[in-house]
Amino acid sequence: MSLNYRSLNQITLVGRIGQDAALKQTQSGASFATFSVATQTLLKKQDGTWDHPTTWHSCVMWGKRAETLASHLKKGTTVIVTGSISYREGTAKDGSKQRYVDSQYTASWTSTLTTCSF
């Protein structure tokens, strides 16, 4: 079997929900849920000790999937999420330009969200 992709934008995260998901609507009435996922990487430092820094990922899920799953995305829940990464620019409170990274989970994407018991 040959995969003939010119490009692919797909990520998989396994981590814990940082705060309960917030279900919102755009002005046009489209539903979306925002939440964050914390992941950790095990790193060995030069002195031989281990560190496990936390990385926070801002996530957004759209449509019926967001409406259905938002109530299950509770702080501390372990999840596996797949989707794509997008970038956007904005202005910080101090007036400086900021670049943001979002993980997108759309109803048209065959994404998965699974809660796990470890």
Separation of alpha carbons 101 and 14, rounded Å: 17
- Residue-level pLDDT at 93: 86
Q: What is the pLDDT of residue 50?
A: 94
Q: Counting Cβ atoms within 10 Å, is residue 45 exposed (0-12), middle (13-18) or buried (19+)?
A: exposed
Dig out the tokens for 31 from the structure.
């539903």
The structure tokens 């998901």 sit at: 21
pLDDT of residue 83: 83
pLDDT beneath 50, residues of the chain: 106-112, 115, 117-118
Say what the pLDDT of residue 25 is: 96
